[in-house]
Structure 1
Amino acid sequence: MNDTHVKSNISAAVELFQLIMYTPTFTLGLLFNVMALSFLFFKVKKLSESTVYMIALIFLDTLLLFTLPFKIISYHLQDNWNLGSLFCSTLESLYFVNMYGSILISLCICVDRYIVIQHPFTAPTLRSTKKAAMVCAVICLGTSAGTISTFQLHGEGHNISSCFHNFSKSTWENTGLLSVLEITFFGNMAAMTFCTVQTIRSLRKHRRPDNPQTDTTRAEKIVVTNLVAFLVCFTPYHVAYFVYFLVKNNIIHTSSQQVLRDIVQVTLCWANLNCCLDGVCYYFVLKESLEDPLQNSEKNILCLPDRTSSISTGSSHQIAQIN
């Protein structure tokens, strides 16, 4: 979330930072997401649980990326948005709703990986492509309900002149909205951290003593990288948003409100890097999996084994195929 009615509340330094960050985020993120999606549609012959989650994640990330050029335009126009209130609210919905949809799908991928590694014998009953599709559908429908809130960010019936910022006072007094967003993120963060730690512990048990640099080591690095990227991208914004909410509601008193406002803008911009990192990560994982003759089968695609490989976790190579 951004700010209230203050003329030209975006500092020049923040505008420049957003331009520098959003340009490569948009171009590279769109490029690698489209390339990863192309691999999925043209190279993967059979859908698995992992491919279903990845298609949903790439779809949500791509929709968010399409809003970034308009976000740059909105900050340049400041209080002179002339593309229509309905169009602005639609863009804001795509931006904020899809960001949290991506967070929830990322959790699903992490939990799915955890189930395969930690509970290989019950995984076939817990996992299926149909169940994965249903989970994605529920997440998309659930997050879409957030559109009700995003269409009221500037106040009911308000003629929007500043898109993506200058939100109404009622928005900043909405404790329910704050609670939902913060609980969604920090709850996901706790669950993903737990699943990642447990997955790493299981992977290390399958290391070969005579050759520790096995595929499990590579798998561990990718699992940790995924979690670190998630935390680095999203944590600063949610902490800054929470602190700024307290300041706006006079729960915390400070004379540095402009600084906090800029920090919220910068951390929100930083959070969007996750869309780019998702595409880059999964594009190269897909490319490597398809080119590696030892991993050249549908069941090893997209960082997760299918139900058959999940049962046979006896070798380090099979365990490493989650990545």
Structure 2
Amino acid sequence: MILKAYLEMNDTNRSISETVELFQLIVYAPTFTLGLLFNVMALSFLFFKVKKLSESTVYMIALIFLDTLLLFTLPFKIISYHSRGTWKLAPVLCSTLESLYFVNMYGSILISLCICVDRYIVILHPFTAPSLRSTKKAAMVCAVVCLAASAGTVSTSQLHGEDNNNLYCFHNFSKSTWENVGLLSTLETVFFGSMAAMIFCTVQIIRCLRKHRNPDNPQTYTSRAEKIVVANLVAFLVCFTPYHVVYFLYFLVKNNIIHTSFQKVLKDTIQITLCWANLNCCLDGVCYFFVLRESLEDPLRNSQKTATRKP
């Protein structure tokens, strides 16, 4: 299911434009550096400052792990594009890197959905939450998501078709890959389904928080929690929506549903939106670090805060 991230580049045997290639280098270099730094800092807080794991911190660990997988592939993506046609490293390495990239993209989306649903249960169903939530259950959910995402990488070896003599990596996918309607439907459903569920849960959480806000003190904890919930949703939408919209349009072009005159523009645009989507790794790391630090300032409210914020 996660193969979609690559379909972006299977255009023709031509390389992407030099302008887009430069844009990728400019974006990926700081994304890799800052994303890795922020995620390491967040993990350091988790392992050395947080004394007891909660459901939220379990989801956080899983999401940071998936983000790190994507960050690891970015330098190799730069190498792949810069080589302009030939993957000079081992073919098995290319397949592994592509799999890691796919696991992150949709594994992160699904874990983000789990985090949002977890907060929804805590805020709107506090009496049933204890029976529905536990760190063990959260760990099981993360394991299922990662296994499901990993299962999608089985078809990674088929992205380039049976004849891939030039050993392309991260781009130049086969015609059959682009004609796979089931793949398109699965990937788009995962994202837009998650997006709809997150919007619903976030709206309900905000309504509940505002209902219980103290009118005499607008700068209450619920007000701060509300801002973080909104920020999490906005980051999700801003990072992932452009890519999935452009990917759908590019699929239509590759299948001659939309005039092929749009192919070159969409080809460049899908590369740019994919770079933009990868920025989510940095945003996750920054958000986690500051939320963890704030939660440590008030241990008595730690469990409540992590339940109403993105961990």
What is the aligned partner in structure 1 of residue 205 from structure 2? 199
Contact 1:89–1:151 under 8 Å retained in 2: yes
Equivalent of 1:288 in 278, 286, 294: 294
Higher mean alpha-carbon deviation, 219-228 vs 149-158, is at: 149-158
Q: How does 1:18-97 map to 2 (within 5 A)?
A: 18-97=24-103
Q: Give the corresponding residue for 2:157.
A: 151
Match of 1:259 in 2: 265
- Residue of structure 2 equivalent to 1:182: 188
The equivalent position to 2:10 in structure 1, one of 4, 7, 28, is 4
Q: Is the 8 A contact 2:229 2:309 kept in 1?
A: no
Contact kept? 1:29, 1:276, Cα under 8 Å:
yes
1:10 is matched by which residue type in structure 2?
I
**Any conservation in 1 of the 2:9–2:271 contact (CA below 8 Å)?**
no
Counterpart of 2:108?
A: 102
**Alignment RMSD:** 1.7
- Residue 147 of structure 2 corresponds to 141
Distance 1:102 1:321, change over 3 A: closer
Aligned-pair distance for 1:254? 3.8
Measured after TM superposition, the shift of residue 321 of structure 1 is: 7.5
TM-superposed deviation, 1:157? 5.6
The residue aligned with 1:310 is none
Inter-CA distance 145–267: structure 2 relative to 1 (3 Å threshold): same
TM value normalised by structure 2: 0.94
> What displacement does 1:68 show?
0.4
Q: Tell me if the contact between 2:253 and 2:259 (Cα under 8 Å) persists in the aligned partners.
A: yes
Q: Against the structure 1 CA distance between its residues 178 and 153, is the aligned structure 2 distance closer, same or farther, given a 3 Å change threshold?
A: same
Q: Which residue of 1 aligns with 2:302?
A: 300
Paired position in structure 1 for 2:274: 268
CA distance in 1, matches of 2:140, 2:295: 27
Alignment pair present for 1:225 and 2:227: no
1:128 corresponds to which residue?
134
Pair 1:39–1:160, CA change in 2 (3 A): farther
CA distance in 1, matches of 2:162, 2:122: 47
In the TM superposition, what whole-angstrom CA distance separates every residue of 1:254-292 from its partner, at most 9, and x where no partner exists? 4121011001111111100111100110011112222x2
Change (3 A) 1:58 1:275: same
**8 A Cα contact 2:66 2:107, kept in partner:** yes
Query: 1:46, CA displacement in angstroms?
Result: 1.4
Q: 1:160 to 1:41 in 2, by over 3 A?
A: farther
Alpha-carbon spacing, 1:250–1:5, altered in 2? closer, same or farther (3 Å): closer
Q: CA deviation at 1:302?
A: 9.1
- Runs (4+) off by over 6 Å: 320-323
In the alignment, the residues of structure 1 paired with residue 309 and residue 182 of structure 2 have an alpha-carbon distance, to the nearest angstrom, of 42
Answer 1 or 2: higher relative contact order, Cα 8 Å, separation at least 6: 2
* Contact 2:254–2:260, Cα closer than 8 Å, also in 1: no
Aligned residue pair count: 305
Gaps of 5+ in 2: 1-6
**SS in structure 2 of the partner of residue 145 of structure 1:** helix
Kept in 2: contact 1:286–1:301 (CA 8 A):
no
Tell me whether 222-231 or 207-216 shows the greater mean CA deviation.
207-216
Mapped to 2, the partners of 1:321 and 1:149 lie a distance apart of 35
Does the aligned pair in 1 maintain the 2:15–2:85 contact within 8 Å?
Answer: no
Cα shift at 1:296: 2.4
